[in-house]
A = this chain, B = another copy of it.
Amino acid sequence: MSKNLTKRSEDYSKWYNELVVKADLAENSGVRGCMVIKPYGYAIWEKMQAALDTMFKETGHENAYFPLFIPKSYLSKEASHVEGFAKECAVVTHYRLKMAEDGSGIIVDPDAKLEEELIVRPTSETIIWDTYRKWIQSYRDLPILINQWANVVRWEMRTRLFLRTAEFLWQEGHTAHATKNEAVAEAEQMMNIYAEFAENHMAVPVIKGLKTETERFAGAIETYCIEALMQDGKALQAGTSHFLGQNFAKAFDVKFTSKEGKQELVWATSWGVSTRLMGALVMTHSDDKGLVLPPKLAPIQVVIVPIYKGDDQLDAISERIAPLVKELRAKGVSVKYDNRDTYKPGFKFAEYELKGVPIRLAIGQRDMDNGTFEVARRDTLEKETVQADEIVAKIEFLLEDIQKNIFKKALDYRENHITEVENYDEFKEILENKGGFISAHWDGTPETEERIKNETKATIRCIPIDVKPENGVCILTGKPSKNRVLFAKAY
């Protein structure tokens, strides 16, 4: 199966598109820009959801659900917010279809026009802050720490599976606080949770930072982000957490009575990650043979393939396998025993390589005679023969080791692809020939940022949280700068 996969070195973009489809993660639907997430892809997303949801709940957040539709007037209430989202909205204008009178088919009933158009939510700040107004009277009602798992729609013109789709799945947290400090701390906390999730579960190293004004969320005072680096040297924004100040409280008139009895505007944050993470996962670890999945997110952690001739051999192998499967499952390891007789072992090997199953066990007649298994790990493709009485320990070791190993590999790549440059020529040279993050001085103006973007397609991915003060001069204008920022071409 993997033979048909384009090589990364030939065409990285094509490799990605093919891999997502061939590994049964997702495919395009008949609806422009909307994808179908297939069961194998959705199973990975469910594991991501479960891990994130636990982390959200451990930090005091609760889930809720707000409407899919946003009245046009709500969206318009926060000026920079509507400017950011108006250009890519799905707009509901009617609420009924009918049979055309000339019998030509089903048409939109012109008599069923909505008085006010509804926007399919591109994000839910407006509908949520309209609701919070009713929930918040006193400081006792604060903080509100709510998350929702939902679908959202942004009418992107150029779409790519997982990375940029018209409809996508995500979680969006929306919190309300009595003080600025508390809201800022929340926004920072969520950035840290996202980073922890990306690194510990996805095995994707990320840089935590702040967005520049240009790259901020529409309506935010400050946008915190985590930035990952893909194998082609392009960056990918993997999650954002926004300190929204009092912008939405102002727009929706949300005030509370403080302990001191004063009326004050409420402070806000919002934060989200989406099915885009699936794209980051695929592009960080996978190779020319297919997906490489971190054990913590793999729907199947161990696959067992029997190699046999005739039913008797298969039965004997199945009998040998049964207690192992049981023992592994009891330990919480997800195991698949693939005893399909419609496919040959070689086909199965290629299929599970393509699908990124971390550990493959094969057992044939010689293994039966010797009491062994052939164990293959997906990340390094190494194989070894393991005695049956050591197999469970070996699997437990490998699940941890693969998780660590692919993180380290990605981290090494990332560390080798942060390049400090001192001038614009060097900047362009590195961008063109090496890629990755470029650490450079910038004069702090949107104009310079814009010019660099137009000339090179590189954007400022972030000002790292742990950036060190360092006097320098802007690579483009030569004006003074107090610290470096990270540039990259990005998804």
Contacts and interface: CB of A to CB of B under 8 A. Distances in A.
A460 to B, nearest CB: 28
A76 B105 contact: yes
Query: What number of copies of this chain does the assembly contain?
Result: 2
A393 interface: no
Contacts of A68: 34, 120, 151, 153, 167
Contact of A65 (B96, B99, B146, B169): B169
- Which of A46, A95, A98, A131 is the most central at the interface, judged by chain B CB atoms within 10 Å of its CB? A95
Contacts of A88: 95-96
Contact of A93 (B29, B45, B108, B130): B108
Interface of A: 27, 29-31, 34-39, 42-43, 45-46, 62-72, 74-76, 82, 86-99, 105-106, 108, 117-120, 127, 130-131, 134, 140, 146, 150-151, 153, 155, 167, 169, 342
A262 to B, nearest CB: 19
Closest 8 CB pairs of A and B: A34-B67, A39-B62, A86-B97, A37-B65, A91-B94, A95-B155, A31-B67, A93-B93
Contact of A29 (B30, B98, B120, B131): B131
- Which of A45, A68, A140, A342 is the most central at the interface, judged by chain B CB atoms within 10 Å of its CB? A68
Contacts of A27: 134
Contacts of A153: 68
A72 B31 CA distance: 11
Contact of A30 (B71, B95, B96): B71
Given A29-B66, A131-B29, A169-B65, A90 B98 contact: no
B63 A42 contact: yes
Contacts of A72: 97, 106, 108
Given A130-B30, A155-B95, A90 B69 contact: yes
B39 A106 contact: no
A120 B120 CA distance: 9
Contacts of A34: 67-69
A18 to B, nearest CB: 16
A97 B108 contact: no
Contact of A63 (B35, B36, B39, B120): B39
B89 A64 contact: no
A117 B342 CA distance: 43
Given A71-B31, A97-B87, A127-B30, A92 B64 contact: no
A21 to B, nearest CB: 11
Given A68-B167, A95-B88, A62 B43 contact: yes
Contact of A31 (B76, B127, B146): B127
A131 B29 CA distance: 7
A71 B119 CA distance: 17
Contacts of A74: 30
A66 B36 contact: yes
Contacts of A96: 86-89, 91, 155
A175 to B, nearest CB: 12
Contacts of A117: 108
Given A38-B64, A42-B63, A95-B89, A31 B151 contact: no
12 contacts: A29-B66, A29-B67, A29-B127, A36-B64, A36-B65, A36-B131, A42-B62, A43-B62, A45-B65, A67-B167, A88-B95, A91-B95
Contacts of A71: 30-31
Contacts of A155: 95-96
Given A30-B127, A89-B94, 12 more contacts: A27-B134, A29-B130, A29-B131, A34-B67, A37-B65, A39-B64, A72-B106, A72-B108, A86-B98, A90-B95, A91-B95, A96-B155
Contacts of A150: 151
Contacts of A42: 62-65
Contacts of A65: 36-37, 42, 45, 169
Contact of A91 (B62, B93, B146): B93
A95 B150 CA distance: 20
A97 B89 contact: yes
